[in-house]
Chains A and B, each alone.
Chain A
Amino acid sequence: QSVLTQPPSVSGAPGQRVTVSCTGGTSNIGAGYDVHWYQQFPGTAPKFLIYSNINRPSGVPDRFSGSRSGTSASLAITGLQAEDEADYYCQSYDSSRSAYVFGSGTKVTVL
């Protein structure tokens, strides 16, 4: 049971906008801890995608964006492309567990 809850899957047609939600609680996202996002293709290591809620590392396309509000965060992909089909994970810190925690992961499918 993951501390941060994500939908198992989301899908969209090429060019569409999709969002992936990440719902936490008062001991993690709601406590003000930053949310980070990672992209993982099958059989490969996760890749750093979004940090500190809204920031993109260099090299990450600007069609990826992040936001945070209250006890939740979201990853948005605008202008969805076939190469965006992957698993996406959110991550934050949880003070009640004194641990870094991940979301359950969301598979994004491009129709």
Chain B
Amino acid sequence: EVHLLESGGDLVQPGGSLRLSCAASGFSFGTFAMSWVRQAPGKGLEWVSILRSSGSNTYYADSVRGRFTVSRDISKNTLYLQMNSLRVEDTAIYYCVKMKGMDYYNYAMDVWGQGTTVTVSS
């Protein structure tokens, strides 16, 4: 069974840093693109970043570019999101998502983790 398990969420002060992890199992981790999607309290879904299957191509939402970095360790089947210069507006549940499809522009998000909560507050 395909499974994603996030960890690393915490309460952090504005300007601080945090690293989220996502442990993947049940599929060939290195052959799929992976994304992070977040959901602020009571709000809708917002795509944050994607790591393509090559492992070397990464893309980010304007709201996090320059502050967040997505990476992976294939030997550990784990996806990471390094978050620096955190802001109050980064407060959200962060979901790790497996991407499905043959075409980058038409990827769907077929498997979601249960999410990990990041709270940015003084």
Residues on A lying within 8 angstroms of B by beta carbon are 2, 33-34, 36, 38, 44-48, 51-52, 57, 89, 91, 93, 95, 97-105
On whether the beta carbons of B62 and A48 are closer than 8 Å, the reply is no
In the complex, which of the residues A33, A93, A97 has the most CB atoms of chain B within 10 Å of its own CB atom? Answer: A93
A80 to B111, CA, bound (A): 25
| Number of B residues with CB within 8 Å of any CB on chain A | 23
In-complex Cβ contact of A99 among B62, B111, B113 (8 A): B62
In-complex Cβ contact of B115 among A33, A45, A51, A100 (8 A): A45
Q: Identify whether the interface residues of B are mostly helix, strand, loop, or mixed.
A: strand
On whether the beta carbons of A99 and B45 are closer than 8 Å, the reply is no
In-complex Cβ contact of B110 among A33, A51, A105 (8 A): A51
On whether the beta carbons of B109 and A38 are closer than 8 Å, the reply is yes
On whether the beta carbons of A98 and B59 are closer than 8 Å, the reply is yes
Enumerate chain B residues within 8 angstroms of A52, measured Cβ to Cβ: 101, 106, 108
